[in-house]
Structure 1
Amino acid sequence: MAHSQSSDRGEGLKRDITPFQSFAVAFGFVSIATGIFTAYGVMLVTSGPMGIWTWPVVVIGQLMVAFIIGSLAARIPVTGYVYQWASRLTNPVFGWIMGWISFTFLAIVLVAVDYTIASTVLPVLLSYEGDAQNAWFITAGVILLQALMIAFSTRLTQKFNAIAVSIQLVGMISLVVLLFAVGYWQGELDFSNLLSTGLIPREGYFSLGSLTAAGPWVMGTLLGAFTIVGFEAAANLAEETREPARVVPKAMWQAVLSLGVIGMLFLIAVTALLGDPTNLQLSATPIADVINRVLGSLLGKALLLLVVISIFSCGLVILLSGTRLVWAMSRDERFPGWRLWRQVNTTLHTPVNATILVTVIGQLILAVFSQETDALFALFSAATLLPAIIYAVTVGMYALKRDALPPSQGGSVLGGGGLSGVG
């Protein structure tokens, strides 16, 4: 096993990611349009409309995590993020374990995110009845297209993702404004829904639950916990980012904060326009239903198109992050077949072999479970625990090794200088 501290240069990789592109990586992975569209219906069933108020709680918590990860990224701005931090702050074996946990999460969530396009969004957008077979083929095609973009040009990938994130920002803000304006004009805003529990009994609503079941309020936190993850992907491209110690920490906390504010306003608007919330608690696409009713089918289709763009961008960033993790671990000789995966194409300046590997693994996961959708969704659900493990370990390492951290290579406290004057 090689020494834990690899070179701090991305040999063969170009350092040309701009501050906005770094922000777009963090924003694109989180993708509130994807997360809220996918998880809002589940929240209505488990927590009722009032579950949206767990969103700011999760945002504040994840913002604190982003500050801590940013402090680490400012001190160890090396591709491989938690794998690198664990290796350097604890020992190579623990770093290897964290690298594999991160790789497992990225491989599974790549399939989970892209599968949403084929299984949930496109059937509604294009008005056809989806099945497991066509969902498999469409998802496989989406992953392949993302892989081709990443393999052939990091610059193209970053530019596309930046454009996609810009569309998401403009689209979500415009949607929020339209929902409030049209809802007010038509007299459909009902803010009492914001405190409604729907079909969920009020008695025991705020209880933590038992050893085998969480209380309704606690279940509501899954909306934010499912959505606001992945912002640390910006740190996984540190060696391709200009001034990473300064840029990456800011990109992460700014992404979480902007996503939190826009997401909360969107949740309030949609929830105030639910009408009778019990009528939509059984809908698979309650957000699309609300927008179709309030803004018309044309804007409803526009929302679904926005969701497709958001999901594709999210999957693109996930696959990109996965390839960089494999490349970083292979550079340190800690990934099976490392000699092959650590190579950077001298013409394209991308780790093509690592991209192929992650793509093939994603396709294998998809193929194995393609006809067993219940097992596939169970796998997706189980994988949502992995980010919590990664964040908990990262925060724990920071707390234990804070005094042993190297000096910050960045600037201000929020731009890479760390927390509470550490540095």
Structure 2
Amino acid sequence: MSLVDNLPDDIADKSLRPYGYNQVFRRDLKRFASFAVGFSFISITTGIFTTYGTVLGAGGPLGIWTWPISVIGQLFVALVFASLSSRMPIAGYSYQWMSRLANPKIGWLIGWVAFTFLIVVTVSVDYAIASVTLPDLFNFTATPFNEWLITAFILVIQLVLILFSTKWSTRINNTAVGTEVVGIVGLTLLLLIVGIIRGGIHFDHLFSMGTVSATGYFNLGTLTSVGPFMFSFLLGAYTIVGFEAAANLAEETQDAHNVVPFAMWSAVLLSGVVGFFFLVVLNLTSGNIAALTRSGTPVADIVTQTLGTVVGDIFLVLVTFSIFACGMVAFITATRLVWAMSRDERFPGYQLFQRVDPHTHTPLASTIMCGVLMEVVLAVFSTQPGTLTNLFSASSLLPVIIYMATVILYILTRHRLPPALRFTLGVFEWPVIILALVWLLFELSIFRDASFSTPWLYSLVMVGIGLLYFVYLWIARPQVLQVASLNKEEPEISGAEL
């Protein structure tokens, strides 16, 4: 039991007062639910079904060996975030942490980049359903129009669910964790067993470059390009993100000081192990690599060709449900970040977006606003060629920026951190921090490739819009950017009061 979160409601509500806030959400999320949030946001199902085809085209089957490196790198990052969340379990994660460790101006900038990321990643996840799983499941040809229409409809369904109740959204998400684990583990085992029985196992595919030339394969590239193997790191860069969603729901979590840190690093570790075995088996049962490289749905093709239509469709249903839950968690995370920034009067229209409905216990206005903006972003990306690639590339670039800024500021301001209540890195703190930073610098270098021009453009346009509002705040309402929180109505509470 932590110091505050498992105490009676009248006392636990005081746990946010040291940060300048009052408790407004119900603490409905328990250990499994918190883990489920991080695990569902990572969603190895979503990441692998979305990016495996890109890896086949860019680096061939050999590209999957970037996965273990990505998982280890992201695990170091998750441990740094776990240390921060244990000390400051507040909605808004990096926005809140940086506002307190550095200053509210830097915190605001990080918060806006995080908001930009959450909007586009929700769209990218839902778009994967329309372009990767449903076409094979219902045997239709994906077109830009029907992909846009289906994705837009999925966003509306998620919006309604989130508006209705956090509890119902959590139940769906908890179920999705089960379907994802059962789906991926079951799918991995079935593919392997059936492949062995039918003689369809290709060990040579584990280290095959497929249709990719061996010339310069491991080359680091130039100032505007990267080599095939390095490009394949997108597989892990897109998938192993979002574990920090558990921290963003800390104010709705019981025993948050203890539960949230565990939820983040364990979600990364489990996702990494299960995902790697799935990737290995996909390579082993991949069959005609050239045909799969040309396909828009290579994972679904492998499943159907190996297991047959009926069994393949059953697993595709489970996969679709898991991807849907991933998109919903990303959606919820975006609404909570908007609410957290609005609570501090730092988000456009904060007067409206800081309200929490007393009946549903959800921030209705911020949820609707996020949904509308997601539809706009979807419409913009849908008009461009390579929609899915652009979406998941933008969704990979932005978290790297957020993670790196957070780790750097952690290094610079760690002496100002409040004491850890449950989770601590101890003597491993500096090795973990350094390895996390090295990994993130390497990961960011991948995005110098010219093919990422559209994701960079999206990021710059959204950040530019945010900077206009930031300048307005700085000039017209400078007091808003002076202190970590503006809700200092209650006195800080001491350990004796807890």
Deviations along 1:97-149, one digit per CA (max 9) or x if unpaired, are 01100001111111121122223322221112333333333222211111111
Match of 2:185 among 173, 184, 206: 173
Moved more, 391-400 or 116-125: 116-125
Q: Please show how residues 181-220 of structure 1 align to structure 2 within 5 Å.
A: 181-220=193-232
Counterpart CA distance in 2 for 1:280 and 1:369 is: 25
1:298 maps to which residue?
310
CA offset at residue 365 of structure 1?
A: 2.0
1:150 counterpart residue number: 162
User: Structure 2 vs 1, CA of residues 421 and 62 (structure 1 numbering), >3 Å: closer, same or farther?
Assistant: closer
Identity %: 48
Residues 62 and 246 of structure 1, relative CA distance in 2, 3 Å threshold: same
> Which residue does the alignment assign to 2:101?
89
Q: Which residue of structure 2 aligns with residue 160 of structure 1? A: 172
C-alpha distance in structure 2 between counterparts of 1:176 and 1:375, whole Å = 29
Q: Does 1:245 align with 2:291?
A: no
SS in 2 for 1:308: helix
Q: Which runs of 5+ in 1 are unaligned?
A: 411-415
Residues 22-421 of structure 1 aligned to structure 2 (within 5 Å): 22-374=34-386, 378=390, 380-410=392-422, 416-420=423-427
Shifted more, 125-134 versus 219-228: the winner is 125-134
Is contact 1:74-1:418 (8 Å) kept? no
The residue type equivalent to 1:93 in the other structure is K
Aligned partners of 2:293 and 2:388: how far apart in 1? Answer: 23
C-alpha deviation, 1:421, in angstroms: 6.7
Question: Within 1, Cα distance between the matches of 2:288 and 2:169?
Answer: 43
Please tell me whether the aligned partners of residues 182 and 295 of structure 1 are also in contact (alpha carbons under 8 angstroms): yes
**Cα distance between partner residues in 1 of 2:176 and 2:412:** 39
Seen in structure 2, the aligned counterparts of structure 1 residues 308 and 419 have a Cα distance that, compared at 3 Å, is: farther
AA matched with 1:76: M
**In structure 2, how many angstroms separate the alpha carbons of the residues matched to 1:55 and 1:226?**
11
Deviations 1:183-222 (A, max 9, x none): 1222221212111111223343222111121111111111
**1:413: which partner in 2?**
none
Structure 1 stretch displaced more, 101-110 or 113-122: 113-122
Paired residues of 1:30 and 1:314 also in contact (CA < 8 A):
yes
Query: What is the identity, as a one-letter code, of the residue corresponding to 2:362?
Result: T
Instruction: Supply the distance in 2 between the matched residues of 1:198 and 1:372 (Cα, whole angstroms).
Output: 28
Give structure 2 stretches of 5+ with no counterpart: 1-16, 430-498
Task: Measure how far apart 1:376 and its partner are.
Answer: 7.5
Q: Does the aligned pair in 1 maintain the 2:123–2:391 contact within 8 Å?
A: no
Could you tell me how far apart the structure 2 residues matched to 1:193 and 1:117 are?
27
What are the Cα deviations for residues 325-371 of structure 1, in whole angstroms up to 9, with x where unaligned? 01100111101111111111111111111111111111222234444
Distance in 1, matches of 2:355 and 2:22, equals: 11
Separation of aligned partners in 1, 2:421 and 2:202: 50
Report the more deviating stretch, 230-239 or 206-215. 206-215
CA distance in 2: counterparts of 1:340 and 1:115, whole angstroms = 29
**In structure 2, distance between residues paired with 1:377 and 1:218:** 16
Q: Classify 1:292/1:26 alpha carbon distance in 2 versus 1 (closer, same or farther; 3 Å).
A: same
The residue type paired with residue 417 of structure 1 is T
Q: Distance in 1 between matches of 2:270 and 2:391?
A: 30
C-alpha contact 1:8 1:78 (8 A) present in aligned 2: no
Counterparts of 1:370 and 1:50, CA distance in 2: 31
Question: Which has the larger displacement, 33-42 or 374-383?
Answer: 374-383
Shift of 1:152: 1.6
Instruction: Identify the range of structure 1 (112-121 vs 165-174) with the bigger mean alpha-carbon deviation.
Output: 112-121
**Structure 1 position 306, deviation (Å):** 2.2
Deviation at 1:405, TM superposition (A): 0.9
- Cα RMSD over matched residues? 1.8
Deviations 1:288-346 (A, max 9, x none): 12111211111221232122112210110011000100110011110111111111111
Q: Distance in 2 between matches of 1:10 and 1:135?
A: 43
CA distance in 2 between partners of 1:104 and 1:47 (Å):
29
CA contact under 8 A between 2:121 and 2:391: conserved in structure 1? no
- Contact 1:6 1:331 survives alignment (8 Å): no
Q: Which moved more, 1:64-73 or 1:344-353?
A: 344-353
CA contact (8 A) 2:122 2:330 kept: yes
Deviation per residue, 1:212-268 (Å, 9 max, x gap): 211111111111111111111110000000011100111111111111111110111
TM-score, length basis structure 1: 0.93
Farther off after superposition, 122-131 or 76-85 = 122-131
8 Å CA contact 1:62, 1:228 repeated in 2: yes
2:295 counterpart letter in structure 1: S
Tell me if the contact between 1:67 and 1:419 (Cα under 8 Å) persists in the aligned partners: no
TM-score by length of 2: 0.79
